[in-house]
Structure 1
Amino acid sequence: MKVAYLTPEFPHEKTLPSAGIGASIFNLSKGLMQLNHSVIVIVYGQDRDEVIQEKDLTIFKVKNVKFKGFSLFLTQKKVQRLINDLYSTSKIDIVEAPDWTGFTSFLNVKCPLIIKLHGSDTYFCHLDNRSVKFKNKFLEKLALQKADGVIAVSNFVGELTNKVFSLNLKFNVIPNAIDVKLFNPIESKENECILYFGTLIRKKGVLEIPQIFNEVHKVLPSAKLILIGKDASDIKTGNASTWQLMKNEFSVNAKSQVQYKGQVPYAEIKNYINEATVCIFPSFAEALPVSWLEAMAMKKAIVASNIGWASEMIANTKEGVLVDPKDHKAFSKAIISILNDVTLQNNLGDAAIVKVKNMFDLEVIAKKNIDFYKTLINNV
């Protein structure tokens, strides 16, 4: 099968910086190519028009059209021509795009078009208790209504998407994937190391971390907290740095045990995960986070948010511990229990890696995607 992915981001040395959606498409593309399927990635919003050939992967970089008041529409039509040309020359059979900001809302393509629910702007604004831009919600809803098929990375994101848009779309749940073979857990040398990795942003619950760690520090003053990730501005307060907001909330004594590493190369993150005793994810807004899967693949004990998507990834107290991130004492208690119990660390980590191999590995997820693509190609 010949699959195209239309996306605003994709991780490559010649493309602009990428985040979660890009990582998800990268992993899935790799899984499809390992099963001998062809993949083309079309990345809009780039610095220039360029075609990059990487062995079996072709990347089309698309520069947005600049024309006041019509830039989005003209860029959509530019991408539409590219997709239809690829389809008419038998280079692709189907195209998939994310729900974010509804880029496909005015695309009229000849091949089947799938929208994957990674979490739209409307979805995240709802979870974050913020108002959404009318334009974004309108475009996202229109894109969903025009799609030939819908995939949701979790049942939670599918059901909530229907709710926030007042739709009743049928969706097929196919989660994000990771290449488990790339994660080689090694016995950690650290005994009391807590790790958070991800963007420092309010919706990921990072502003709860200082209060949680203050509670941990009272019981285990030697425990260390390491934070890794890009610092983001805070949309609620207007502060340019979420890290600065966090720093002020640590107690004087606890702060001495905190290290913020900023952004580090992706290849180095695995080293930090490996050295951690427990990974924490107190998020309020996710769809199905790849970072959780990476920690699970490294056989790490996890304490994470108990909201929505979480139970689709982790069975509470079996493959990790799920807690209300606003209940700082309960969250810290779960961390302390893990730090104090090597057997519990091992049991949670062992169960976590089994879960990832069985449910979230590249080959498993790639096959599910291909099966779904075939149903659309045969029926559209």
Structure 2
Amino acid sequence: MAKDFYGDMKLGILGGGQLGRMLIQEAINYNVNIHILDPDKNAPCRKLCNHFECGSLGDFETVYNFGKDLDMLTIEIEKVNVDALEKLEEEGVLVYPQSRIIRLIQDKGLQKHFFKQNNIPTSAFQLISSKENMENSTIKIPFIQKLRKDGYDGKGVKKISSIADLETAFEEPSLIEEWVDFEKEIAVIVARNDRGDISTFPMVEMEFNPEANLVEFLIAPSTYGFEIQQQAEELAKKIADDLQIVGILAVEMFLTKEGEILVNELAPRPHNSGHQSIEGNYVSQFAQHLRAIFNLPLGDTRCRSNAVMINLLGEVGYEGLAKYEGIEEILGMEGVYLHLYGKKITKPFRKMGHICIINDDRELAINNARKVQEILKVKA
């Protein structure tokens, strides 16, 4: 690292949402000068950074001009102009994760080919240029269709359960993959710095909101056996090493009913499956990402306690200025930590915050989390 952390180092973050906000909260400890680019003038990061710029993350000139006077760039969202990042890298700006990795992960088809080429277990798949090709595919119904680009938070994903469902399939280039009858969705966050040190957070278990297809409930650490946890963590390390990534990487996986682990998707940034680490681990995923991109020693990822994370989603039927019900009641409970993301407008299933529930008794942590879910509501 050429510059010290005494206010002269300029770190740019592409994206000013909740991930950028939590990254800033950690970066303050390093006294780093934070610059944010986001298309929303009311982005959650706007008042927390040293410099905020409102502009398109997909426009070459905007991203290039934003980054050219910075020392380093990182991302909190993958949908950014990679051509601009490549040019900035050529001109000496450090970009972590590297632009080639962002380009790979932007395209779910390229991700799948990467898994195949590197002997990483994943579900059977086929790339489709248009929905007309689907009826003759080698993957039989039921299957999952995913847009190759621009899908996020459950958007851009459809289950095709019957021939009739093909009528409403996506028209754009996509991949179809075998429907996995999994027992549990699991995830491992892994970090790698430029000197090649690699460290994983303990495996976590996830429950999804079936309507929004978003992580609604996350439990750490996992209670699955040592062999399964070790296998998941070794897979994450292999992927980080194969990619030679610098930064943090979320590896989302399925655990099948036969005990097999299949890698589903990657996210080269802090991720929803690591939010519990702020209170639940000795080092948080945000601190670990900064350690990795600053090429510092990686932190201690061990769990401090049982942690349950709940996404605070906008209630169905409400859209407008956010109003929070039940905050005082949940904060009267032991081991409850609230994180609001600073979003002014709520709408159904929008991520408005998260809550982490800590307890040495795992069942009590889960029960308290269920109570919090019932009490805390985001309305308008």
Query: Which structure features the higher share of strand residues?
Result: 2
- Report which structure shows greater RCO (CA 8 Å, sep ≥6): 1
Structures share fold, TM-score greater than 0.5 = no
- TM-score, with length taken from structure 1: 0.34
Query: Which structure features the higher share of helix residues?
Result: 1
- TM-score, with length taken from structure 2: 0.34
